[in-house]
Amino acid sequence: MPSKLRLRIVALLYMRGEMYLPKMASGLGASRALTKIHLKKLESAGIVRSAIAVFSVATIIMELTAGLVSAFAAVALALTVWGTRASA
């Protein structure tokens, strides 16, 4: 079953590029746990990938895989149009 949150994650990553999980969850208005569950599903499907960035604490960075960026441009545009219609 499609998930609106997963579509929003893909759109957010397309528009903003790499993001740390806490910032992404905050931007989506979702909990870190729920965001991470959906990111793992997207990662399993090969749509996003994660890397560990070590500063003072290990943090997961998610980004779109290079091959799918152009494919999701249409999704991001459709979500923008859908969001405009939904708020009108």
pLDDT digits (tens, 9 = 90+) for 50-65: 877 544 444 566 666 6
Question: Does residue 41 carry a pLDDT above 50?
Answer: yes
- Return the structure tokens found at 42: 């997207």
- pLDDT band of 81, cuts 50, 70, 90: low
Identify any residues that bridge with 64 across adjacent strands, giving them in sequence order.
48
Query: Which domains are present in the chain?
Result: 4-87 (1.10.10.10)
β partners of residue 50: 62
In this predicted model, which residue has the larger pLDDT, 5 or 64? 5
Please report the pLDDT score of residue 30 as a whole number: 94
pTM: 0.64
